[in-house]
Amino acid sequence: MNRLDTWLWEALQEDLEHGDVTAECLIPREARGEAVVFGREPFVLSGVSAFERVFQLMDSSMQTACLFQDGDEIAAGAPVFRLQGNVRSILAGERTVLNILQRLCGVATLTRRMVKALEGLPCRLLDTRKTTPLWRFLEKAAVRHGGGRNHRFSLSDGILIKDNHIAAVGGVKEAVRLARQGAPHTLKVEVEVDTLGQLKDALEAGADVILLDNFTVEKLREAVALNGGRVLLEASGGVTIDTVRAIAETGVHFISCGALTHSARAIDLTMELFPSPHFSAS
Amino acid sequence: MNRLDTWLWEALQEDLEHGDVTAECLIPREARGEAVVFGREPFVLSGVSAFERVFQLMDSSMQTACLFQDGDEIAAGAPVFRLQGNVRSILAGERTVLNILQRLCGVATLTRRMVKALEGLPCRLLDTRKTTPLWRFLEKAAVRHGGGRNHRFSLSDGILIKDNHIAAVGGVKEAVRLARQGAPHTLKVEVEVDTLGQLKDALEAGADVILLDNFTVEKLREAVALNGGRVLLEASGGVTIDTVRAIAETGVHFISCGALTHSARAIDLTMELFPSPHFSAS
Amino acid sequence: MNRLDTWLWEALQEDLEHGDVTAECLIPREARGEAVVFGREPFVLSGVSAFERVFQLMDSSMQTACLFQDGDEIAAGAPVFRLQGNVRSILAGERTVLNILQRLCGVATLTRRMVKALEGLPCRLLDTRKTTPLWRFLEKAAVRHGGGRNHRFSLSDGILIKDNHIAAVGGVKEAVRLARQGAPHTLKVEVEVDTLGQLKDALEAGADVILLDNFTVEKLREAVALNGGRVLLEASGGVTIDTVRAIAETGVHFISCGALTHSARAIDLTMELFPSPHFSAS
Amino acid sequence: MNRLDTWLWEALQEDLEHGDVTAECLIPREARGEAVVFGREPFVLSGVSAFERVFQLMDSSMQTACLFQDGDEIAAGAPVFRLQGNVRSILAGERTVLNILQRLCGVATLTRRMVKALEGLPCRLLDTRKTTPLWRFLEKAAVRHGGGRNHRFSLSDGILIKDNHIAAVGGVKEAVRLARQGAPHTLKVEVEVDTLGQLKDALEAGADVILLDNFTVEKLREAVALNGGRVLLEASGGVTIDTVRAIAETGVHFISCGALTHSARAIDLTMELFPSPHFSAS
Amino acid sequence: MNRLDTWLWEALQEDLEHGDVTAECLIPREARGEAVVFGREPFVLSGVSAFERVFQLMDSSMQTACLFQDGDEIAAGAPVFRLQGNVRSILAGERTVLNILQRLCGVATLTRRMVKALEGLPCRLLDTRKTTPLWRFLEKAAVRHGGGRNHRFSLSDGILIKDNHIAAVGGVKEAVRLARQGAPHTLKVEVEVDTLGQLKDALEAGADVILLDNFTVEKLREAVALNGGRVLLEASGGVTIDTVRAIAETGVHFISCGALTHSARAIDLTMELFPSPHFSAS
Amino acid sequence: MNRLDTWLWEALQEDLEHGDVTAECLIPREARGEAVVFGREPFVLSGVSAFERVFQLMDSSMQTACLFQDGDEIAAGAPVFRLQGNVRSILAGERTVLNILQRLCGVATLTRRMVKALEGLPCRLLDTRKTTPLWRFLEKAAVRHGGGRNHRFSLSDGILIKDNHIAAVGGVKEAVRLARQGAPHTLKVEVEVDTLGQLKDALEAGADVILLDNFTVEKLREAVALNGGRVLLEASGGVTIDTVRAIAETGVHFISCGALTHSARAIDLTMELFPSPHFSAS
């Protein structure tokens, strides 16, 4: 049982506990039917394998089909998934799978909107570690399906010196020096700066990547000039669909945005069931 | 290890994997400091015990204090939590705990706004099963902290006959009849209806609670009149901060709203670290 | 891996630990054979899926067949299950599966005897939460296979106010009032009473279901009269095969009985192995 | 978290699921009280550490006291355990802990009765592997608390050649020969025989222990004579409180009895709660 | 999911964490290829099922073939395993499976060398409990693949009285007496002795097996003479490829050697990948 | 329960299964004593926290003291750990903790020897991913205790293009190009090369780190010259205590060595128990 399966199984258990008392009263154990899932608004798809595995885990005889791929743009009302099998199994998984998809598609859809706003510019849109706890691997995939790129996955796979680190060691220069000395030789050293002064320190100390936190567009332009193409620059803070293009046009290499994963609105998805005509045991 | 501990531990592992490589380079193993958590906007608090347990789980020598209780309304900038202990432990838990709190406080804050809109009316605000998978027990608590009430927790602890069930058995009356016959004698029978015709069927069939789905305010008024106080009525669909009071004024007993848990915006929270002056091993 | 699989796997591990040292000495790794399971006394069957899954989990090449269904009445000596496959796998699962079946069939058989004693009466036989810890979902299914119905599954899916609650809040009326106020709107309020006086209080306070605990048959008759058909009545205490019909004839709607799950005698089951003639590797 | 804790935690979860909805309506979060557990019939105690750990796991501030030790004989009505602490915690653990104790005390009590029937004889009473799945370590301890001894714990820690093994390899002699050759040198070889002829074969083949299955008392006497003190003899089958002494008087060294663990009747235990006078938050 | 699967899955997770970032950059998701595993030195094979399961767990569409059996002697350079399937899956499992095989084959190879040194003698080579924690079931199997036999698996399945036990109870005789009295009747009593005096005590007290710890070859000869064939003798301490035959020639029945499992050198194994010619998505 | 605790608990279970049958026969339940752990040879210490936690997990009343720190050089015979507490608990953990320590100290000791061979040179010794599966976090810590540094922890936290990747994409240049394009911007790009020609390609393509695999000392010197200080160079293959200094003297920045973790010999450690004089219950 791989990571996704374990995750989905826990999600199913949360909603099923000791069983679906409504369906057990109403639906014959062997009743069969079909169902389709569609959106009531347009969206970018993410979560295809979650959908398929949820129903496989519940009932290995379920037939599932996905008519699109992760990353596709789907029109309102278009059938995205089809299901064929035991009606009780379909109903038992319905809410869980919609709860998963509505969130992942929400993240992918918001990401796609921002990426489109950057069209024609070399700047890349990044996510952050501001993800929903227990959902990081899924939300980071949804960002990719939306066209964004992933920043580091966890505290283990990248050096990023932040304000609290700098406060702790006493300055940008000392922080970068310590990181260069102690970091695994396979990792670059990234440091967050709040001012142009700190930016100069970071450049002098030999940082590989510099995160410009809450810089105005004007300050970003100065920062890009100051850098003169030496290191990679990442802008963060105040990134919205309205500001993202102006930020990118300053010439920074990356823009990172926490809202992609922590505040995307859920997509309105629904499942419609078509019981088989005679609704009898197979 | 109870359910919350297990949940928090998985959340910590997701961000920590094999350790915090930045802090291991920069922060001496024994360095101590203090930190405070505050919001950059006003919010309703939820997640006090999660905060305290996260740091206990990481480092049992950590001192934590919460200056408020779940459900309290907090001003922007007011310190909510204080931490005192090992700096590496503080930094290792920072992102995870903020990711948890920003979501739970978001749910509590949105719920509170809606509950206030109902002030003076007997109608109660309910959540739904449209929660974030793996977060249900936390989000349902956040709804209570915001002043809302919980609908059923899972498929196991309530009978709710929905459109797909009615389609499967052929009609409201038959569905309610089967549920009354087969349901555990400790559960009421709730049924979702889309029209006044179905409402009449549900009343005749002896439903205990009736969910009026996507009724206009006018239709809701007719439904309340038709019911004449016989059974409990719940309205659902199209519930926003702008519509919620008008819906309640129709006289329904409950309003349920999925957006409370699936689309609440994250609260902007931050943690500020104050390293101890000499920053030395204790 | 669903709940049953996980449960069965733990049960197998308990008996297998690091392997079956006897079979490893005596039985060639590839030896194949057949086996049948039968009872040495008549019984009601429960546990068909447990049987099939145990052997599937151990050895996916095992062929299993069940000649009956859960709930069937089986004569002594009648073959119930057939197995065909690897002899070591058959022997490794033998004791575990018999230990499971002897208990579940014991519960189903005792339940069936009591249900037959109620023949022709509208009263329903219920189980309780006095189940064997870790076995509840299986024992509650066995009660259904025996013809009984299930009371609430856990503390989460029903309101049942018992003597200790009443002691804590100071009286039946106050207890029922608090429950009606605070309970989820999908749950009925059931209260346990010890006297006719408490019964009156419960009726006045608006309980939905009343459990008459340790009432004599005569008192039960008075209680039924007092109720006058207003709410559901459940009798409990002193329920045996000898008393159950008299209790039901008082007119209560339900009788609940803890002995169904905590004191059913194990059914005497056995497995007989027929090694393949040449007993050689396949 | 050791094995017992994990086991108890799963047992608690089974009854608690997402919480105790009754207590949450009725009992203030901070209410405190005392409770005692006693039997409504005399019994032999088993399960002291389970009792204490269940309440520790739920609420580490709970005070528990046990007034007896495992193995003690307890009079009806005598208080066995005392609890002091949060009322919700007491009520949340009540059913689970009583379900555990009623079964373990049942096993210990039945064992004690049989052991007393053997008083003055050198013969020892043994349990079997016919235990309740997932309960073996607890039930085997209960047998010891009752004064019995344990047979092998699992398939891994003893060689016991049974009828199905003999059928598979073609005879007692061949089976014992293979076991002596292949078994770990730390294990004795025990073989089950159905006839005196098989007994002779087993003695000749060099078995260390011989299990006489379903022998009449008369045949057991012959077997003891035939053995002439060479190897250990164990009798099994048809062992009840009425037959156990006669079996022992034949001179066998051990009697094993499956009913000790699979068919002991539950002891009738109860918990009585005394809420603190003012029933207020501590 | 059986024990091996769970173990392998944890091993895979340890190396994979949140994915293989190198392969995700370089290898198209659908690229297919073949790979072979071979040694750069001769070795005895152990770990066939681990190899097959690792790749099945990662990717159920992977084709695996093993050209040998556990216990076979393999020449340097000979292909042992073949793989056909998704290139990313092959690379994701490569290091984990080689890390497993290099250790297990190391144990089997060292065991085989020692067993060959005993050729023609009745003495058997045993392992010990000095295994790599979490690897015992695999390393004990590797010892068998090498031609050795297993001593007890754990503290639960054999009585072995060691120096610390003797110190605790005050002497060999008392220790053996207590063990004979209290041990399950299915277990032999083995005792470790350091001197010929202790050996005499052990024989008198009725030990079934005696472990001669750190005896010189000369002392072993005296011990064998003293025993006169009465009980089983096991020699331990100072066992190397150079000494093992001389120890065996003293006439002891068993030699046990911790180095088999704690200090076997890893075998130098490698995997070579052959991408499919067109290396395109299937 | 953190990662180390879970790991240790599984290790304890592996050796304890259903209990220590020897100690249960011989040692009174309440007997107390002291024990010390020491080596029979000099070694570098690693595993202090594992030692302390193992005994805490088994018995929270155990007193443990460590007289040294991880990384200290310990003389043969010097007491390293002291234990005071229940004798059964001491004996139950003895083998598991020694099995853990003997391996970790083995790794730390071998690493220290190699690090000393590099004294005075700027070159750093690195481990690899050739660790014992399920032991990586412990073995990587042991390497640090020995004075080495860690290469990447897993496939997730570093880009390392190896021979099989190069074969798959068709050449060093293309591989480096793809990695630079697709890799997270926080990771450097390291590539393994077998020849000076590939080294030139790697330098041209813009690799950040280059691993020189199985280069002779002479070729390493040429590679260092060719590089001219541009990128970090790592040497691997054929690294032993005899060759490591010569390799370092070529001027490479890092030497990585798999044998540190896969083939370190276990250190010979022992535990000596001193039962309390009266050996009675506390």
Residue of B nearest to A259 (CA): B266
Burial of A4 (C-beta count, 10 Å sphere; 0-12/13-18/19+): middle
* Whether pLDDT at D275 is above 90: no
* Mean pLDDT, residues E123-147: 98
Our measurement of the distance from residue E247's CA atom to the centroid of its chain's CA atoms, rounded to an integer in Å, reads: 21
Q: At B275, is the pLDDT very low, low, confident or very high (cuts 50, 70, 90)?
A: confident
- CA distance linking residue C151 with residue D163, whole number of Å: 43
Question: In this complex, how many residue pairs, one in chain C and one in chain F, have their CB atoms less than 8 Å apart?
Answer: 3
Taking all residues of chain A, what is their mean pLDDT, rounded to a whole number?
95
Q: Which of residues 207-236 of B touch A (CB under 8 A)?
A: none
pLDDT of residue C275: 84
* Whether pLDDT at B280 is above 50: no
Residues of D in contact with C26 (CB under 8 A): 161, 165, 168-169, 175, 178-179, 182
Q: Are A232 and A208 in contact (CB under 8 A)?
A: yes
Our measurement of the distance from residue C38's CA atom to the centroid of its chain's CA atoms, rounded to an integer in Å, reads: 21
ipTM for the complex shown:
0.95
Q: Are A42 and A267 in contact (CB under 8 A)?
A: no
- Percent of chain A's residues with pLDDT above 70: 98
Q: pLDDT tens digits, residue range D58-70?
A: 999 999 999 999 9
pLDDT of residue F2: 79
Q: At A276, is the pLDDT very low, low, confident or very high (cuts 50, 70, 90)?
A: confident
Chains adjacent to C (≥3 CB pairs closer than 8 angstroms) = A, B, D, E, F
Which residues contact residue F240 at a Cβ distance below 8 angstroms, ignoring those fewer than 6 apart? F259
From the CA of F119, how many Å to the nearest CA of chain B?
23
Given the residues B136, B149, B162, B180, select the one marked as catalytic.
Answer: B162
Question: Which residues of C are marked as active site?
Answer: 95, 130, 162, 192, 213
Q: Which residue has the tokens 């006839």?
A: D195
- Percent of chain C's residues with pLDDT above 90: 96
* Whether pLDDT at E201 is above 90: yes
* B82 assigned to active site: no
Which residues contact residue A9 at a Cβ distance below 8 angstroms, ignoring those fewer than 6 apart? A1, A57, C1, C2
* Mean pLDDT, residues D157-168: 95
pLDDT of residue D282: 37
Q: Which of residues 151-180 of A touch F (CB under 8 A)?
A: 151-153, 156-160
Q: pLDDT tens digits, residue range C168-197?
A: 999 999 999 999 999 999 999 999 999 999
From the CA of E181, how many Å to the nearest CA of chain D?
12
Residue of B nearest to F140 (CA): B18
pLDDT of residue A245: 98
- CA distance linking residue F87 with residue F22, whole number of Å: 12
pLDDT of residue F136: 98
Stated length of chain A:
282
Residues of B in contact with F156 (CB under 8 A): 17
Q: pLDDT tens digits, residue range A189-244?
A: 999 999 999 999 999 999 999 999 999 999 999 999 999 999 999 999 999 999 99
Q: Measured between CB atoms, does A2 come within 8 Å of chain E?
A: yes
* Mean pLDDT, residues B228-232: 97
Q: pLDDT tens digits, residue range F151-172?
A: 999 999 999 999 999 999 999 9
* Mean pLDDT, residues E177-195: 96
pLDDT of residue C3: 87
* Whether pLDDT at D186 is above 90: yes
* Mean pLDDT, residues C226-237: 97
Question: Which residues of F are marked as active site?
Answer: 95, 130, 162, 192, 213
- CA distance linking residue B60 with residue B93, whole number of Å: 13
The answer to whether B184 contacts C159, with C-beta atoms less than 8 Å apart, is no
Q: Measured between CB atoms, does C185 come within 8 Å of chain F?
A: no
Q: Measured between CB atoms, does A17 come within 8 Å of chain C?
A: yes
Question: Which residues of E are marked as active site?
Answer: 95, 130, 162, 192, 213
pLDDT of residue D169: 92
Q: pLDDT tens digits, residue range E59-92?
A: 999 999 999 999 999 999 999 999 999 999 999 9
Q: pLDDT tens digits, residue range B242-261?
A: 999 999 999 999 999 999 99
* Mean pLDDT, residues A70-91: 97
CA-to-CA separations, A246 to A111, A114, A118, A229, A239, in angstroms, rounded: 17, 12, 9, 19, 10
Which phi and psi (to 5°) does residue B99 adopt?
-60, -35
* Whether pLDDT at F219 is above 90: yes
pLDDT of residue B282: 37
Q: Are F220 and A197 in contact (CB under 8 A)?
A: no
Which among D26, D165, D168 has CB closest to C168?
A: D26
Q: pLDDT tens digits, residue range D69-125?
A: 999 999 999 999 999 999 999 999 999 999 999 999 999 999 999 999 999 999 999
pLDDT of residue B1: 55
pLDDT of residue D276: 81
The answer to whether A13 contacts C1, with C-beta atoms less than 8 Å apart, is no
pLDDT of residue F1: 55
* Mean pLDDT, residues E166-176: 95
Given the residues B94, B127, B192, B208, select the one marked as catalytic.
Answer: B192
Q: pLDDT tens digits, residue range D126-145?
A: 999 999 999 999 999 999 99
pLDDT of residue A2: 79
Q: Measured between CB atoms, does E16 come within 8 Å of chain A?
A: no
The answer to whether F1 contacts B9, with C-beta atoms less than 8 Å apart, is yes
pLDDT of residue C2: 78
Q: pLDDT tens digits, residue range F117-132?
A: 999 999 999 999 999 9
From the CA of A83, how many Å to the nearest CA of chain C?
21
* Whether pLDDT at C281 is above 80: no
- Percent of chain F's residues with pLDDT above 70: 98
pLDDT of residue A279: 47
CA-to-CA separations, D24 to B115, C159, D59, D88, in angstroms, rounded: 21, 10, 16, 8
Do the strands C232-236 and D79-86 form a parallel or antiparallel pair, or are they unpaired?
unpaired
Q: At D278, is the pLDDT very low, low, confident or very high (cuts 50, 70, 90)?
A: low
pLDDT of residue C1: 55
* A116 assigned to active site: no
Q: Measured between CB atoms, does F185 come within 8 Å of chain C?
A: no
Q: pLDDT tens digits, residue range B91-140?
A: 999 999 999 999 999 999 999 999 999 999 999 999 999 999 999 999 99
* Mean pLDDT, residues C220-242: 97
- Percent of chain E's residues with pLDDT above 70: 98
pLDDT of residue E1: 55
* Mean pLDDT, residues E154-163: 96
The answer to whether B18 contacts E18, with C-beta atoms less than 8 Å apart, is no
Taking all residues of chain B, what is their mean pLDDT, rounded to a whole number?
95
The answer to whether D168 contacts C10, with C-beta atoms less than 8 Å apart, is no
DSSP string, chain D: --HHHHHHHHHHHHHHTT--HHHHHHS-TT-EEEEEEEESS-EE---HHHHHHHHHHH-TT-EEEESS-TT-EE-TT-EEEEEEEEHHHHHHHHHHHHHHHHHHHHHHHHHHHHHHHTTTSS-EEE--S-PPTT-HHHHHHHHHHHT-B---SSTTS-EEE-HHHHHHHTSHHHHHHHHHHHS-TTB-EEEEESSHHHHHHHHHHT-SEEEEES--HHHHHHHHHHHTTSSEEEEESS--TTTHHHHHTTT-SEEE-THHHHSPPPP-EEEEEEE-TT----
Q: Are A172 and A71 in contact (CB under 8 A)?
A: no
* Whether pLDDT at C132 is above 80: yes
Q: At F279, is the pLDDT very low, low, confident or very high (cuts 50, 70, 90)?
A: very low
- Percent of chain C's residues with pLDDT above 70: 98
Q: Measured between CB atoms, does B281 come within 8 Å of chain A?
A: no
Chains adjacent to A (≥3 CB pairs closer than 8 angstroms) = B, C, D, E, F
